[in-house]
């Protein structure tokens, strides 16, 4: 945050000792607030709905409100429930409240819905059939479990992909529907009309495994509260004040959860912005905002419309864009500050293709850096994860430091999940999913047939897989070889288990990975990614050092799937638009504004305008992340799958107000689609064309009124033996040519297969 930012709490800590609550009305708390913000803080009695636009200081309101309640001694910290949407937001909030009220902040009930749900279920889970050490399945485990259930039920998994069924089940859970509450009409003919049965069977399997999925963390809470009034009452009594952040992204189950908990004291404060609702695909219901006013007729509504973040130009652009949505409560953002000389227009840049776009963005970044801008004040926000790759490559070649937030998630990597499965087997011998995952990793001659045998036996005898396996090794059911392998594995497991108390989690993990042969497996692996995997395993063991017990670590893993990115580094941030919600930067780059990418194809396919409206809200979120400058860009050609495809500028670009937009597209790329504009790069090695990288690639030809890219099969003049340069791999010699695919022996990077468009003659 810049020093001039009115919300820069961190830069202006309250003068007095942070451990002592300050007197009420202390200017350093309230004086900085505008009248609406102040209202949102001071109306502590009864339900309050705060509709707060982007950049209107909603986080500050929440934090001040918490501090205010504590400072006024309206409640003890453990009597306050504060719910956020992400772990990151929870962490930040705790830190900032701690800055105001001191260590008291530690005892707040503050976290995500899911984390708080776990906390409750760990304590009262027995009442809904869960032992307190239940495990939380990640999406991969969920899918495998459902597949098993479907197989047992004889459902054709070709016709009804488990993924589809799973997402339907999850929707039901998001709505707070247990299997007995799903009506046949909701299930339709999904999975041959057996969807509800599958749901029920899936839930039963989860309970026998003593496991939950993400949805259950809330769903079980609801059943718990409904069936056990005394438990509900305990929490209703406790929570005198409830605060909810990102309220527009709550789903029905979460809403019901909140409504049950706040019934006694009715001091519920929800903060949200319908224009920033971007999680409907996860079951979020903007309708919860309307429902709030209906269910709490005495609710006070406070609107925060003064934007302290962005320049008037950016606000005008964002407002004009979101105005194209039909379905909104209607809310205008007013610039709070006076417009200054730095009020630059929003730029729109059209370029030839993806790599060109990345090149341009990073040139701009370097230019800003030369002017003295900090890299950490800039961000590239993309629609989907795969768009990050092109930028990463360019960052690597230019050497500009960058930081990927929420990219491929660490704990979701194959090798990490394997390592975790080992730990789970040790802590919880009944964890069948974990056991199944690692029985044959590394190869122990325990193949599918053996696993099937174990399964059958476990089911009939009502045992866990590990127990069943142990019993089977005492028989002659299995081949001598596999019997021996199983015996060793199970013996190892119990040996490691007995070591658990004597060793730190990190040491234990290191020993397990070593003795199981898991590390060795990857060391012997010659595939290019093996070294990286070993590296990750090392990092994994290193990360374990911070944990005292394996249990605590596993809990962390299942709830916090994000990387703890070391912030503060001087680096450009690159992340998805979803990940960027709630953040702000001086300069924001918004690449890939093309039809089918943004709005995403799936949103366009999805019939009605609702999906596109959500995409538009996403665009709105992107624009409003910027304090000073927004750069939108799009490419005329994009490589999708393995083919080049022409693309059209996003409809969102044409929805931006002309007077606030500066078009800086390269020649012929903007506003002239369908006209004969392709001179300069129509063929081959277009010498002085402005498309140096386009040579030898595909030539655009006009067909009808849309761009078509001719699939040229020539290799653009590359031949075996030629010396070339590649941005990522450096110099090398061409070994073979197959249409556009080249095999190249690089001086440093070794043999690689690359696409001709990524190399140039050396």
Among all residues, which ones are annotated catalytic? 58-59, 245-246, 276, 625
Site string for DNA, 645-684 (x = CB under 7 A): ----------------------------------------
How many whole angstroms separate alpha carbon 390 and alpha carbon 395?
Answer: 9
Q: How far is the CB of 522 from DNA (least distance, A)?
A: 14
Q: How far is the CB of 703 from DNA (least distance, A)?
A: 24
How many whole angstroms separate alpha carbon 414 and alpha carbon 525?
Answer: 14
Q: What are phi and psi of 82, to 5 degrees?
A: -125, 120
How many whole angstroms separate alpha carbon 119 and alpha carbon 109?
Answer: 10
Judged by CB under 7 A, the stretch of 30-38, 92-100, 332-340, 554-562 that binds DNA is: 554-562
- Closer residue to DNA in complex, CB, 249/584: 249
In angstroms, what CA-CA distances link 328 with 179, 275, 325, 628, 722? 33, 7, 7, 26, 59
- Closer residue to DNA in complex, CB, 334/601: 601
Considering CB under 7 A, how many residues would be counted as binding DNA?
49
Name which position in 79, 210, 430, 450 contacts DNA (CB under 7 A): 450
Name which position in 112, 250, 277, 430 contacts DNA (CB under 7 A): 112
Q: Which residues of 289-328 are buried (b: 16+ CB within 10 A; e: fewer)?
A: beebeeebeebeebbbebbbbbbbbbbbbbbbbbbbbeeb
741 binds DNA (CB under 7 A): yes
Q: How far is the CB of 337 from DNA (least distance, A)?
A: 31
Q: Are 678 and 702 in contact (CB under 8 A)?
A: yes
462 binds DNA (CB under 7 A): no
- Closer residue to DNA in complex, CB, 166/544: 166
- Closer residue to DNA in complex, CB, 299/405: 405
Name which position in 60, 359, 444, 625 contacts DNA (CB under 7 A): 444
561 binds DNA (CB under 7 A): yes
385 binds DNA (CB under 7 A): yes
Q: Is the dihedral of CA 690, 693, 699, 702 positive or negative?
A: negative
Q: How far is the CB of 335 from DNA (least distance, A)?
A: 29
Residue 759: in which H helix or E strand, if any? strand 759-761
Q: Which residues of 132-165 are buried (b: 16+ CB within 10 A; e: fewer)?
A: eebbbbbeebbbebbbbbbeeeebeeeebebeeb
Site string for DNA, 581-610 (x = CB under 7 A): -------------------xxxx--x----
How many whole angstroms separate alpha carbon 496 and alpha carbon 486?
Answer: 15
Judged by CB under 7 A, the stretch of 83-91, 329-337, 644-652, 707-715 that binds DNA is: 83-91
How many whole angstroms separate alpha carbon 485 and alpha carbon 479?
Answer: 10
113 binds DNA (CB under 7 A): yes
Q: Is the dihedral of CA 511, 516, 520, 525 positive or negative?
A: negative
Q: Please tell me what DSSP assigns to residue 21.
A: P
Site string for DNA, 407-436 (x = CB under 7 A): -------x----------------------
- Closer residue to DNA in complex, CB, 579/622: 579
- Closer residue to DNA in complex, CB, 375/575: 575
Neighbouring residues of 485: CB distance < 8 A, sequence distance ≥ 6 = 444, 445, 446
Site string for DNA, 284-313 (x = CB under 7 A): ------------------------------
Name which position in 8, 78, 374, 386 contacts DNA (CB under 7 A): 386
Q: Residue 272 in 3-state DSSP?
A: strand
How many whole angstroms separate alpha carbon 14 and alpha carbon 97?
Answer: 11
Name which of residues 161 to 220 contact DNA (CB under 7 A): 214
83 binds DNA (CB under 7 A): no
Please state the length of the chain.
762
Residue ranges binding DNA (CB under 7 A): 85-88, 112-115, 139, 214, 278, 281-282, 383-386, 406, 414, 440, 443-450, 479, 482, 529, 559, 561-562, 576, 578-579, 600-603, 606, 611, 641-642, 741, 753-755
């Amino acid at each position: 945050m810049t020093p001039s930012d009115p919300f820069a709490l961190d830069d202006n800590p309250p003068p007095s000792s942070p451990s002592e609550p300050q007197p009420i009305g202390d200017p350093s708390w309230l004086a900085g607030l505008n009248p609406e913000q102040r209202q949102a803080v001071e109306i502590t009695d009864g339900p309050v709905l705060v509709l707060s636009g982007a950049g209107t200081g909603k986080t500050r309101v929440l934090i001040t409100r918490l501090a205010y309640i504590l400072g006024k001694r309206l409640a003890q910290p453990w009597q306050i429930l504060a719910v956020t949407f992400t772990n990151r937001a929870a962490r930040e909030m705790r830190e900032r409240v701690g800055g105001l009220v001191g260590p008291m902040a530690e005892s707040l009930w503050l976290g995500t819905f899911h984390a708080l749900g776990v906390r409750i279920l760990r304590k009262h889970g027995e009442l809904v059939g869960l032992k307190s050490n239940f495990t939380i399945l990640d999406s991969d485990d969920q899918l495998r479990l459902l597949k098993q259930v479907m197989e047992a039920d004889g459902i054709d998994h070709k016709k009804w992909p488990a993924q589809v069924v799973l997402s339907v089940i999850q929707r039901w859970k998001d709505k707070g529907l247990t299997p007995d509450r799903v009506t046949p009409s909701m299930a339709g003919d999904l999975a041959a009309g057996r969807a509800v049965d599958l749901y029920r069977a899936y839930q039963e399997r989860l309970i026998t495994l003593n496991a939950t999925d993400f949805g259950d963390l809330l769903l079980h809470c609801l059943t718990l509260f409904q069936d056990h009034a005394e438990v509900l009452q305990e929490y209703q009594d406790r929570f005198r004040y409830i605060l909810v952040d990102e309220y527009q992204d709550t789903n029905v189950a979460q809403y019901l959860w909140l409504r049950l908990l706040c019934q006694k004291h009715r001091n519920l404060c929800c903060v949200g912005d319908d224009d920033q609702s971007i999680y409907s695909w996860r079951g979020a219901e903007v309708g919860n905002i309307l429902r709030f006013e209906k269910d709490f007729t005495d609710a006070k509504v406070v609107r925060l419309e003064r934007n302290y973040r962005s320049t008037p130009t950016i606000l005008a652009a964002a407002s004009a864009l979101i105005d194209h949505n039909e379905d909104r409560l209607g809310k205008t953002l007013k610039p709070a500050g006076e417009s200054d000389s730095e009020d630059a227009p929003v730029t729109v840049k059209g370029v030839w293709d993806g790599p060109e776009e990345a090149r341009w963005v990073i040139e701009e970044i370097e230019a800003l850096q030369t002017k003295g801008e900090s890299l950490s004040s800039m961000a590239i926000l993309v629609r989907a994860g795969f768009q990050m790759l092109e930028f990463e490559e360019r960052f690597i070649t230019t050497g500009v430091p960058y930081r990927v937030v929420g990219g491929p998630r660490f704990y979701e990597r194959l090798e990490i999940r394997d390592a975790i499965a080992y730990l789970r087997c040790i802590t919880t011998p009944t964890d069948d999913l974990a056991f199944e995952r690692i029985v044959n990793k590394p190869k122990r001659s325990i193949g599918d047939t053996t696993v099937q045998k174990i399964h059958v036996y476990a089911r009939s005898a009502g045992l866990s897989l590990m127990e069943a396996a142990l019993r089977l090794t005492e028989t002659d059911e299995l081949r001598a070889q596999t019997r021996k392998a199983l015996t060793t594995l199970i013996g190892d497991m119990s040996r490691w288990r007995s070591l658990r108390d004597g060793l730190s989690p990190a040491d234990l993990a290191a020993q397990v990975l070593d003795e199981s042969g898991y590390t060795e497996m990857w060391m012997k692996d010659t595939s290019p990614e093996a070294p990286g995997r070993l590296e990750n395993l090392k990092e994994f063991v290193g990360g374990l050092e911070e944990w005292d017990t394996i249990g605590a670590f596993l809990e962390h893993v299942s709830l916090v799937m994000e990387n703890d990115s070391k912030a503060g580094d001087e680096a450009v941030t690159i992340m998805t638009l979803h990940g960027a919600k709630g953040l702000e930067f001086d300069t924001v780059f918004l690449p890939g504004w093309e039809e089918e990418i943004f709005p995403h194809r799936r949103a366009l396919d999805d019939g009605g305008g609702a999906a596109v409206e959500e995409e538009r809200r996403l665009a709105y979120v992107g624009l409003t992340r910027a304090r000073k400058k927004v750069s939108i860009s799009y490419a005329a050609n994009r490589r999708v799958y393995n083919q080049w495809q022409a693309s059209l500028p996003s409809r969102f670009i044409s929805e931006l107000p002309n007077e606030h937009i500066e078009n800086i597209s390269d020649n012929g790329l903007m506003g002239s689609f369908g006209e004969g504009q392709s001179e300069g790069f129509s063929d081959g090695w277009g010498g002085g064309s402005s498309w140096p990288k386009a040579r030898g690639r595909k030539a655009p030809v006009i067909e009808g009124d849309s761009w078509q890219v001719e699939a040229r099969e020539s290799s653009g003049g590359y031949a075996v033996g030629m010396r070339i340069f590649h941005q990522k791999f450096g110099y090398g010699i061409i070994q073979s040519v197959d249409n556009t695919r080249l095999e190249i022996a690089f001086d440093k990077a070794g043999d690689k297969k690359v696409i001709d468009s990524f190399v140039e003659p050396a």
